[in-house]
Structure 1
């Protein structure tokens, strides 16, 4: 019988999980274990029921953490099971990630505008039923957490990562992974600062994500492109002018 790496880390994973945002905490801890090699490449995670019971969390919470890990490329899920991926591709893009992190905010906003329109366009051309289901899940969670800025932004960020995953283009996905942290900081900055001046920001953001989702569902790559650029333009204006 093979070594059960996850069982060895169970105490760390379930320590002080609290009652709020458990899936995000699990995502961060599992990501850390994968990066550190404590959950090695090729390792097959135990059955979800076993892991849920081991950690004392619901299956839906565990699945949300797994969804985030899959979107960011740390695991792959199939009918055969859930496996840890090689992380060389993530490690190799670290220099670009550092460049993004140290970029001027205006440069970052312009980069998003150029990148994500094309990403949405390719997602509309290539998204599978599973991709659309994951995008819909993120969108519904954004609506559910519209009154919690931090959780709202978590799912906003995950939505954008899932759009990149739906392109099935490894370079686009890797670029989004590298830039993700800085992108997310920009979104949080926009939301926190603008909410004090314009309570409609959340509503407008939800509306624009809905347009992107519908376009991808319909395979309408032109509308997906324009809707994403409209959304990024709105974020850019919100960051700059509140």
Structure 2
């Protein structure tokens, strides 16, 4: 009985998380579901052995089609985060999830130096491509995110979220879906790393760097964007997070 009650409580947590999803025009609902479920599993919010409600019940609760849910489940299964059987869908055990081929988990436990090197390689390319493709609307979206960052001056957790959204938006603007996926799969480690950076008084420098990146995109100047991104990442290195 206790186990059943536990699963009921976790079901309610799941519903509460998923009902907040508000997909943007750039992202399908199934993608939003996948990202939200993936992050909930990696954070432990949905623990190993958690049994999802049956598809009919879950779809009815979320007011979505079964095809949408199955599209969200498919990449979770490929990442070995869940197991789908005739008897239901459940979260895999930690030992099953920790597979060398599971990049999500490898990234989650990576050293900060590895995350920094990853960012230096990936994000310089993202900035370069984004500057080539940026439109006025793209620039406005980035400006709105910087405004949110400024309002969150004393809140490192919110700053971290808006920072990730800013860099994800750059990846989207680049037009290369692989860039966006690359950032998403290291989100947990990325946000932990950035959170610590903001706690070390990187706020003002980060705002200046983000505004400079926006200016490079406004001018559609890829070389300028690449140089600014390199400098931005160097500033992060200089706060001493890699010791």
TM-score by length of 2: 0.62
Q: CA deviation at 1:159?
A: 0.5
Q: Is the counterpart of residue 180 in structure 1 residue 181 in structure 2? A: no
**CA distance in 1 between partners of 2:215 and 2:194 (Å):** 22
Q: Any gaps of 5 or more consecutive residues in structure 1?
A: 1-8, 15-24, 45-82, 196-200
* Alpha carbons of structure 1 residues 203 and 102: separation in structure 2 relative to 1, 3 Å: same
Q: Which residue of 2 aligns with 1:160?
A: 167
**CA distance in 2 between partners of 1:240 and 1:233 (Å):** 11
Contact 1:135 1:159 in 2 (8 A): yes
* Alpha carbons of structure 1 residues 228 and 89: separation in structure 2 relative to 1, 3 Å: farther
Q: CA deviation at 1:212?
A: 0.7
- Quick check: which has more Rg, 1 or 2? 2
Contact 1:145 1:151 in 2 (8 A): yes
Give the 3-state SS of the residue equivalent to 2:110 in structure 1.
coil
Q: Which residue of 1 aligns with 2:131?
A: 124
* Alpha carbons of structure 1 residues 34 and 98: separation in structure 2 relative to 1, 3 Å: closer
Q: CA deviation at 1:103?
A: 1.7
* Alpha carbons of structure 1 residues 33 and 190: separation in structure 2 relative to 1, 3 Å: closer
* Alpha carbons of structure 1 residues 136 and 12: separation in structure 2 relative to 1, 3 Å: same
Q: Which residue of 2 aligns with 1:207?
A: 208
**CA distance in 2 between partners of 1:162 and 1:119 (Å):** 10
Taking only aligned residues, the RMSD between alpha carbons, in angstroms, comes to: 3.6
- Written as runs of structure 1 = structure 2, the 5 A alignment for 1:85-164 is 86-87=71-72, 88=74, 92=78, 95-164=102-171
* Alpha carbons of structure 1 residues 93 and 176: separation in structure 2 relative to 1, 3 Å: farther
Q: Which residue of 2 aligns with 1:232?
A: 233
Q: CA deviation at 1:89?
A: 5.2
Q: CA deviation at 1:85?
A: 10
Give the 3-state SS of the residue equivalent to 1:166 in structure 2.
helix
Q: Is the counterpart of residue 220 in structure 1 residue 221 in structure 2? A: yes
| C-alpha distance after superposition, 1:202-221 (max 9, x if no partner) | 11110011001111121111
**CA distance in 2 between partners of 1:125 and 1:85 (Å):** 35
| C-alpha distance after superposition, 1:166-210 (max 9, x if no partner) | 111111111111011211110011222x13xxxxx2111100110
* Alpha carbons of structure 1 residues 90 and 121: separation in structure 2 relative to 1, 3 Å: farther
TM-score by length of 1: 0.62
**CA distance in 2 between partners of 1:210 and 1:190 (Å):** 18
